[in-house]
């Protein structure tokens, strides 16, 4: 490779050193002069009227500075939290969008809903004071699960939202689907629940807010994936602070997975309170508090059916989903089970007609929003489970039915019946490679061997496509986005030729300080040690939409590539002047500007210096300096895809499932750094395995209490739950991004739940089991096995 730190180089991460030495700079580590501590008083009830908040005792405690409530917010004219994406129902009417006050306004709608905010000199004091705040609740019956909430007699969360229905939404050609079903030789059906998840980045959310009266400037440090968006939403809609007077900083952030890509009430309350009391305030979320205040993910109840002809060809897919929104709309809540779900229902197949309807339902639970994959894992799980059921019912091989229906490589670009056009891909290629790597052919022997040890063994495959690189603004705005989804990058070349990049995405584990430096290194021929990537501070970086939806490299990387191209063009102009050549005769390669066919040349560093010391510089035609900026708005989503294969053993007695092998072959487009891509896959797959095997947010149906409210009850994947994963890439470059990249942040989480579940169902198929819901906890599997072994089950 020409450039040892360029695109494709397996270099180690530049950012590691501060983390391995304990010098990371997380929000909870911050201290500001005069800093106070804040604690939220949260509702212990799922649904209740708030008759009054008595803070007398709390305020009488020495060192307690304030106890603030929704009434104070209202008195100060603070607005509710905005929704960033609106959707339109079947009836053509906009979704119901009830107000979402930052502190409860007369009513609480989930356990954890914030009622008051206490500020004190120390954390201990703030906690004590919070405990002495007396809230007078009038408890109401709660609507906890989606199925409960849509019952005609269900309690209503909002008086003006009948049936708790936020929106009854659909996509696709209903008539074409109905017609295809009418003529189908076979119809396969599935009913499933996509289990509710809690993202749980290891760093709990935290914030510090500070107001400087001398400059009238406000700063919020927050654990956010998108500081500029927080500045815009909070400054413009909630607190009405002018953008130039508000700085939002997201320093080192300990994982996000979507959980940190919303504008949360706590951010607004802290910022408002800090301005009010004139002292910096810090709030660090306890983990148990995070369980009941971080937005949750997934939570669908779905019925779907596939129409097939007698040869196993898919004719049409019909899907009906109830999606839980929780007690209020979170920033992107309504977009996730609709626009990020239905368009992916074609999967990697040529299914010609698809219709999907989604009812978005309010319930007395924590708001639900994006969690790694966001809508696309739900779509993939549904399609890939249903495909296995189709195969079983038709007596076809699971691979054969996939092969029969897969979009062939030659058919790309491929327009699906669900809005999106896949630009590139090779699902058959990915699948064949995965089958080989996982030794699918040798499975029968392994199954026998397991049987000898008294264990069921199963193998499962999931093929998938995802739409990421969020997003083409025009398309997104047409789908209801209330903002653009471009990205921006500035490349600042210093007089020495060293480079600082200012970019609007945010790295919270993804390794951008390395991969983005590799892109610049490739472009400008400067080694990565001489390139720094700056992000996460609205005072430093021009603008940006942040990091989510596997967009950073795809959208941000393209902006960066374009900015670097502008640097090269300007450098060529300077070189052309200095070398007395025409612009067209000056080329830039490996960090050197030269005149073609001659030995006249200038190094990148020489040109950089002369841009700032313009002695020999075309000042009449060109501005001095060497700094360029680009905003990039993608023309399409990008569509990574792949095939994942899981192999499991199930204990016949206990029902415990062991994941014994995992293979992933993914098409993520151009790979900038294979080490980092593999790491993203490992983490993503493990989160998906967590959903399949153990993770589940469980609410008590009557009281609406979160039963899985700590790491003792919410089972997170641990090291001993995972086998060594085999990760390979089978890439087709993206046709429309600058570098051919497609994104890899979410693919693991999208492919794995179905692969693992399909393997478990395969293992249990000899008991006649056709479907199981996630998570496959020992208890659930044991019950299913017991049930299947009862005499009646064989009939």
Q: Which residues bind ligand FES (CB under 6 A)?
A: 202, 254-255, 509
Provide the 10 A C-beta neighbour count for residue 77: 8
| Tokens, residue 28 | 């909870």
Sequence length of the chain is 795
Residue 659: which of 649, 651, 667 has the closest Cα?
A: 649
Using the contact rule CB under 8 A, the part of the chain among 214-222, 294-302, 504-512, 782-790 near another protein is: 504-512
Q: Are 484 and 470 in contact (CB under 8 A)?
A: no
Which of 167, 285 has the CB closer to another protein?
A: 285
Q: Give the three-state DSSP class for 253.
A: coil
Pairing label, strands 217-222, 246-249:
parallel
Output phi, psi for 81, to 5 deg.
-80, 130
Cis peptide before 775 (omega within 30 of 0): yes
Which of ligand FES, another protein, none sits in contact with 792, Cβ below 5 to 8 A by type? none
Kindly tell me which of 75 and 202 has the beta carbon lying closer to ligand FES: 202
At which residue do the structure tokens 């941000």 appear?
Answer: 556
Site string for another protein, 33-72 (x = CB under 8 A): ----------------------------------------
User: With contact defined as beta carbons under 8 Å apart, do 357 and 319 qualify?
Assistant: yes
The reply to whether 728 sits near another protein by the rule CB under 8 A is no
Cis preceding-peptide flag for 703 (omega within 30 of 0): no
Q: How many CA atoms lie within 13 A of 553 on its CB side?
A: 32
287 binds another protein (CB under 8 A): yes
Question: Could you tell me which of 99, 104, 98 has the C-alpha nearest to residue 51?
Answer: 104
Integer Cα distance of 784 and 740 in angstroms = 46
Q: Which one of ligand FES, another protein, none is in contact with 684 (Cβ closer than 5 to 8 A by kind)?
A: another protein
Q: 611 near 574, Cβ under 8 Å?
A: yes
> Which stretch in 67-75, 444-452, 473-481, 684-692 sits in contact with another protein by CB under 8 A?
684-692
CB nearer to another protein: give 263 or 506.
Answer: 506
Q: Which stretch binds another protein (CB under 8 A): 155-163, 266-274, 316-324, 685-693?
A: 685-693
Q: How far apart are CA 207 and CA 205, in angstroms?
A: 7
CB of 229 to ligand FES, least distance (A): 22
Give the shortest CB-728-to-another protein separation in angstroms: 14
Give least dist CB 28 to ligand FES, A.
11
Q: Smallest distance from the beta carbon of 255 to ligand FES, in angstroms?
A: 5
Of the two residues 424 and 749, which places its CB atom closer to ligand FES in the complex?
A: 749
Q: Assess whether the previous peptide bond of 413 is cis (omega < 30° from 0).
A: yes
Separation of CA 462 from chain center? 20
Q: Find the shortest distance in angstroms from Cβ 282 to another protein.
A: 11
Closest contact distance (angstroms) between CB of 541 and another protein is: 20
Q: Which is nearer to another protein, 29 or 303 (CB)?
A: 29
Binding partner at 12 among ligand FES, another protein, none, C-beta below 5 to 8 Å by kind: another protein
CB nearer to ligand FES: pick between 509 and 709: 509
Measured from the CB atom, the residue of 6 and 201 that comes closer to ligand FES is: 201
Distance CA 536, CA 533 (A): 10
**Contact pattern from residue 243 through residue 282 relative to another protein, giving x for each residue in contact according to CB under 8 A and a dash for the rest:** ---------xxxx-x-------------------------
Q: Choose the binding region for another protein from 343-351, 496-504, 673-681, 784-792 (rule: CB under 8 A).
A: 673-681
Contact map string, positions 16 to 35, toward another protein, x by CB under 8 A: xxxxxxxxx-x-xx-x----
Dihedral of alpha carbons 143, 148, 150, 153, sign: negative
For residue 175, what are the CA distances in angstroms to 172, 318, 355, 556, 652? 9, 11, 9, 40, 46
Beta-bridge partner residues of 459? 647
**Closest residue to ligand FES, based on beta-carbon distance:** 202
259 vs 420 by CB, closer to another protein: 259
Cα(727)–Cα(711) distance, integer angstroms: 29
| Both tokens assigned to 471 | 């997003």
Chain contacts with another protein (rule: CB under 8 A): 12-13, 15-24, 26, 28-29, 31, 200-204, 252-255, 257, 284, 286-288, 508-511, 675-676, 678-679, 681-687, 710-712, 716-720, 722, 724-725, 748
């Amino acid at each position: 490779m020409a450039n040892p730190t360029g695109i494709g180089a397996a270099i180690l991460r530049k950012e590691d050193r501060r983390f391995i030495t304990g010098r990371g700079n997380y929000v909870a580590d911050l201290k500001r002069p005069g800093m106070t501590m804040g604690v939220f008083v949260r509702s212990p009830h799922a649904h209740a009227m708030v008759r009054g908040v008595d803070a007398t005792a709390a305020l009488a405690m020495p060192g307690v500075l304030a106890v603030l409530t929704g009434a104070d917010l209202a008195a100060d004219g603070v607005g509710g939290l905005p929704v960033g994406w609106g959707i339109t129902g079947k009836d053509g009417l906009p979704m119901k969008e009830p107000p979402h006050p930052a502190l409860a306004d007369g009513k609480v709608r989930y356990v954890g809903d914030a009622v008051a905010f206490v500020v004190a000199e120390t954390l201990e004091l703030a906690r004590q004071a919070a405990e002495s705040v007396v809230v007078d609740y009038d408890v109401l019956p709660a609507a906890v699960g989606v199925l409960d909430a849509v019952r005609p007699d269900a309690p209503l969360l909002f008086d003006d939202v009948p049936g708790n229905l936020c929106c009854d939404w659909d996509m696709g050609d209903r008539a074409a689907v109905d017609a295809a079903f009418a003529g189908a030789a076979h119809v396969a059906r599935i009913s499933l629940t996509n289990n509710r998840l809690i993202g749980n980045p290891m760093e709990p959310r935290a914030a510090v807010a500070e107001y400087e009266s001398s400059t009238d400037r406000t700063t919020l440090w927050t654990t956010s994936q998108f500081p500029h968006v927080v500045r815009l939403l909070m400054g413009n809609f909630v607190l009405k602070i002018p953008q130039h007077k508000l700085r939002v900083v997201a320093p080192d952030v300990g994982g996000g997975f979507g959980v940190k890509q919303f504008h949360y009430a706590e951010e607004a309350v802290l910022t408002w309170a800090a301005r009010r009391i004139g002292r910096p305030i810090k709030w660090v979320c306890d983990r148990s508090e995070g369980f009941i205040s971080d937005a949750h993910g997934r939570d669908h109840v779905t019925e779907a059916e596939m129409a097939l002809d007698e040869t196993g060809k898919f004719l049409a897919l019909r899907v009906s989903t109830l999606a839980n929104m929780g007690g209020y709309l979170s920033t992107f809540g309504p977009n996730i089970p609709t626009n990020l779900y239905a368009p992916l229902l074609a999967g990697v197949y040529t299914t010609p007609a698809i219709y999907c309807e989604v009812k978005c339902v309010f319930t007395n639970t924590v708001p639900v929003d994006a969690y790694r994959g966001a809508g696309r894992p739900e779509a993939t799980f549904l399609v890939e489970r249903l495909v296995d059921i189709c195969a079983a019912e038709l007596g076809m091989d699971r691979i054969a039915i996939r092969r029969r229906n897969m979009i062939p490589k030659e058919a790309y670009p491929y327009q699906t019946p669900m809005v999106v056009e896949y630009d590139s891909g090779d699902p058959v290629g990915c699948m064949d490679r995965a089958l080989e790597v996982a030794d699918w052919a040798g499975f029968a022997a392994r199954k026998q061997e397991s049987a000898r040890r008294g264990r069921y063994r199963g193998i499962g495959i999931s093929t998938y496509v995802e739409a990421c690189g969020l997003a083409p603004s025009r398309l997104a705005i047409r789908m209801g986005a209330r903002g653009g989804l471009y990205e921006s990058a500035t490349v600042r070349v210093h007089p020495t030729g060293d480079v600082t990049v200012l970019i609007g995405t945010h790295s919270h584990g993804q390794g951008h300080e390395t991969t983005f430096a590799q892109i610049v290194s490739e472009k400008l021929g400067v080694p990565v040690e001489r390139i720094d990537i700056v992000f996460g501070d609205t005072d430093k970086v021009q603008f940006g939409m942040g990091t989510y939806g596997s967009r950073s490299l795809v959208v941000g990387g393209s902006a960066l590539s374009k900015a670097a191209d502008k640097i090269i063009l300007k450098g060529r102009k300077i070189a052309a002047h200095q070398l007395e050549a025409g612009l067209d005769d000056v080329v830039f390669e490996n960090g050197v500007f030269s005149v073609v066919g001659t030995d006249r040349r200038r190094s990148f560093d020489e040109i950089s210096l002369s841009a700032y010391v313009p002695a020999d510089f075309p000042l009449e035609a060109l501005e001095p300096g060497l700094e360029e900026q680009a905003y990039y708005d993608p023309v399409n989503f990008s569509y990574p895809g792949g095939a994942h294969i899981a192999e499991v053993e199930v204990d016949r007695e206990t029902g415990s499932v062991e994941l014994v092998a995992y293979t992933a072959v993914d098409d993520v487009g151009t790979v900038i750094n294979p080490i980092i891509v593999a790491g993203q896959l490992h983490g993503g797959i493990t989160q998906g395995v967590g959903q399949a095997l153990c993770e589940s947010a469980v609410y008590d149906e009557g009281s609406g209490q979160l039963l899985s409210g700590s790491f003792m009850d919410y089972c997170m994947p641990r090291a001993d739950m995972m086998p060594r994963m085999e990760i390979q890439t089978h890439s087709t470059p993206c046709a429309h991004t600058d570098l051919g990249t497609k994104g890899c942040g979410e693919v693991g989480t999208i492919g794995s739940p179905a692969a693992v579940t399909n393997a478990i169902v395969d293992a249990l198929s000899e008991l006649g089991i056709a479907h199981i819901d996630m998570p496959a906890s020992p208890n659930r599997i044991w019950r299913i096995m017991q049930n299947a072994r009862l005499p009646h089950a064989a009939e």
